[in-house]
Amino acid sequence: MKNRFSRVFGLLVAIATVIAICLTLFTACNKAEPEDDGEIQRDLYLASIAFLPDSEEAVAYLTFTQNDDKIEGASVAWKSEDASSGVWYNTSNTYIIAPSARIFSAVQNFIPQEKLINDGVQYNRLKVIIRYDTIYKSIKSDGETSVANRVYSHFFTLDKSSENQTFTLTLKTANSANWYGILIAFAIVVAAAACVAFLLAKGKLWQKKKTRE
């Protein structure tokens, strides 16, 4: 009896040690992930031009996707930083800092007048919108959003009278280290319970056998 309980106790200690090691390793890996808190410049490209007859406006959609229509003098500062780090989820923000007046002027100089004619109508009023496309539904923003073909688009309208505008993209991700740690711990506990049940059942059978003898 004493030998059996010693084996059970030893098994539980071993399992607890494995759980502690796993949680420590996963936490260390999670902390080791690099933090992207730098600032880079990203160029803007003309994606398309839409026409709004009701408001008599031509809308120029700018994108970060590279194409042949790179707009000289049109770029934004792109800065990412961690906003918060929780037990189960991490949140990071990306700030798009746009020199709106300068971008607006660059777009006006880039688009020829003939491209602002639609159905024989000359559109003299121009509206400029930055479009950010992503496949990740978890990314939220302070702009208008739409989804098509599993692509999530975020739209940020530039104010030509503003020197600078800041738009925010927010990404919420699971703290994978802690989640995996819990799953591993749960699996080990289940395995331990099964082992203990097996040892106890085996002990009862041994006792019955000994009693019969």
Tell whether 63 and 162 lie within a shared domain: yes
- Indicate if 26 and 106 belong to the same structural domain: no
Same domain, 49 and 8: no
Are residues 159 and 183 part of one domain?
no
| Main-chain phi, psi angles of 20, to 5 degrees | -60, -40
Distance of CA 40 to the CA centre of its chain: 19
Q: Are residues 170 and 187 in the same domain?
A: no
Is the domain of 16 the same as that of 47?
no
Q: Could you tell me if 182 and 104 lie in one domain?
A: no
Which residue blocks in the chain are alpha helix, DSSP H? 2-31, 100-110, 176-212
The one-digit pLDDT tens for each residue of the chain (213 residues) are: 445 555 555 655 666 676 666 556 555 544 434 345 578 999 999 999 999 999 899 999 999 999 999 999 999 999 988 766 655 678 889 999 999 999 999 999 999 999 999 999 999 999 999 999 999 998 999 999 999 999 999 999 999 999 999 999 998 876 655 556 666 666 666 666 766 676 666 666 656 665 655
110 is written with which tokens? 């880039």
Give how many domains the chain has, as a whole number. Answer: 2
Same domain membership, residue 93 and residue 26: no
Q: What is the DSSP pairing of strand 57-63 with strand 70-85?
A: unpaired
Q: Which domain holds residue 124?
A: 39-174
**Shared-domain flag, residues 199 and 106:** no
Q: Which residues pair with 63 in a beta bridge?
A: 45, 131
Q: What one-character DSSP code corresponds to residue 143? A: S
For residues 125 and 115, what is the distance between their CA atoms, to the nearest angstrom? Answer: 13
133 and 196 housed in the same domain: no
Three-class DSSP category at 113: helix
Predicted TM-score of the model (pTM): 0.67
